[in-house]
Amino acid sequence: MTKNSNASSGGTGLPASIEAAWGLRERPVKGPKPGLTLDRIVAAAVTVAASEGLPAVSMGRVAKELGASTMSLYRYVSAKEELYVLMQEAAMGAPEPLPALEEGAGWREAMRQWAWAQRRMFQRNLWSLRIPIAGPPASPHSVAWWEQGLQALEGSGLDEGDKLSVILLVSGFVRNEALLMSDIAAAVEAKGASAEEVMAQWERTVQRLVDPVRHPALSRLLSSDAMSGPDDIDYDFVFGLDRTLDGIEALIRKGAPS
């Protein structure tokens, strides 16, 4: 059964998924007393995604999880794409309070805390990274995260357009890093070996193939101890986030009056 998930069902002019996320849609009233709720359907879908991966989520699979008929779900959710929006909303949750905002610690510390909070959110729900981005944030929790990020930039001296670009830059970095780590973890799990063993195997393979004449820079990297990496598993995230914040700080200084 296919329906247009962008069609509004409540006369608001909003996409059906956004109506559902904001609670603007009337509950089903026809037929027997419903044994389902939208919250139960979303929770079941999240359970399937967390245990079996996002591709396993379908209206039929969620209905089976609930012990209900597939058709009964369509009283609450018009299509799988709408369900995705609601699942992502559930996964995001409300943003954590940022101590830096309460303490007036400045934009950099506030943005650093905002980025770490996003990373923790993604790490708890790696499946949510597989949901296609359908447009700008419009669900309640996604709007709340953006609001908090913009508040973190208050006092930075940036204009509203640059604030928006900073939000996209930092959130994009966090999302990409979380997705990369998720992909690496999945690859390691598929090989049935530890991350260290997989990396050692890659190094041995590349060292056999790399020609010092054709690939001098890569040869120097492989002959160093850089590939062993630091013991801190968060090193790359901290490094990347700090360099990103350095760039934003340079932009702010550039625009500051001399």
Task: Check: CB of residue 129 under 8 Å from CB of residue 122.
Answer: yes
Looking at residue 23, what is its pLDDT? 83
Q: What is the mean pLDDT of each run of 10 residues along the chain (258 residues)?
A: 47 79 69 73 96 94 95 90 94 94 93 97 94 86 96 94 96 95 82 77 84 90 77 89 97 78
Tell me if 176 sits within 8 A of 118, measured CB to CB.
Answer: no
Q: What is the pLDDT of residue 148?
A: 96
Buried b (16+ CB within 10 A) or exposed e, 15-50: bbbbbbbeeebeeeeeeeeeebebeebbebbbebbb
Domains and CATH numbers, the chain: 16-92 (1.10.10.60), 99-192+225-255 (1.10.357.10)
Query: Residue length, the chain?
Result: 258
| Collapsed DSSP state (helix, strand, coil) of residue 80 | helix
pLDDT of res. 3: 42
* pLDDT score at 4: 46
From the number of C-beta atoms within 10 Å of its C-beta (0-12, 13-18, 19+), residue 143 rates as middle
pLDDT in the model for residue 1: 36
Which pLDDT value is given to residue 221? Answer: 87
CB atoms within 10 A of CB 244: 19
**Residue 249, C-beta contacts closer than 8 angstroms, at least 6 positions apart:** 108
